[in-house]
């Protein structure tokens, strides 16, 4: 099996990370892979806010936890209720928020492709990763939107998703895959 297919099949969403920060060279390689993702008409209208400062990460967690009971889905509200110490970033030492211009057609697909490139690059470097959307609760209030300015989110951009990065502190097995999802017209 070729190396790209091995990486795709071995990547898992990691929700337990060691506290150690990832190497700068690995971070830069992952970010470089993000901007090599395809984008509609090659517009590359994404933005990546890389957060590694523990105090800033904790501020973000606190705002998200404060916003979930008001703006969260029933699933995420239950997760918080069941675990008052819930950390939406699973204590990953690096969080990359991905944003794009509001109401730009196909920007969610563009950002998802960049996120996928990032998690595959991370796996190839033996780093853990997880793509999350609950990070969007950060921007549900004026307090969070103001924090977005501190995080370098450009004016007129909105949250798409976040990619968590760190050294794995778990090795989950692959879940079963549904192979009944293909239709062939030959």
**Would you list the domain boundaries of the chain?**
24-166
Residue 163 CA, chain-centre distance (Å), reads: 2
Summarised one tens digit per residue, pLDDT across range 12-71 is 999 999 999 999 999 999 999 999 999 999 999 999 999 999 999 999 999 999 999 999
pTM to 2 decimals?
0.96
CATH 3.40.109.10 fits 24-166, yes or no: yes
Burial of residue 87 (number of CB atoms within 10 Å: 0-12, 13-18, 19+): middle
CA atoms within 13 A on the CB side of 75: 3
Compute the average pLDDT of residues 105-117: 97
The predicted pLDDT at position 84 comes to 86
pLDDT above 90: residue 1:
no
Tokens of 58: 């904790």
Contact (Cβ atoms closer than 8 angstroms) between residue 120 and residue 7: yes
The rounded Cα 97 to chain-centroid distance in angstroms is: 6
């Amino acid at each position: 099996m070729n190396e790209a297919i091995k990486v795709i099949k071995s990547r898992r969403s990691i929700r337990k990370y060691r506290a150690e920060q990832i190497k700068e060279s690995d971070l830069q390689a992952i970010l470089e892979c993000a901007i090599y993702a395809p984008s509609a008409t090659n517009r590359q209208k994404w933005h990546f806010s890389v957060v590694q400062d523990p105090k800033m990460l904790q501020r973000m967690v606190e705002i998200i936890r404060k916003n979930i009971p008001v703006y969260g889905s029933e699933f995420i509200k239950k997760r918080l209720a069941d675990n008052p110490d819930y950390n939406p970033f699973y204590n990953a030492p690096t969080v990359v928020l991905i944003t794009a211009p509001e109401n730009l057609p196909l920007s969610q697909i563009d950002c998802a492709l960049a996120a996928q490139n990032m998690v595959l690059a991370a796996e190839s470097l033996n780093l853990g990763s997880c793509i999350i959307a609950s990070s969007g609760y950060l921007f549900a209030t004026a307090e969070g939107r103001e924090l977005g300015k501190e995080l370098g989110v450009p004016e007129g951009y909105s949250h798409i998703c976040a990619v968590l990065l760190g050294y794995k502190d778990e090795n989950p097995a692959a879940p079963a895959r549904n192979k009944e999802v293909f239709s062939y017209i030959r």
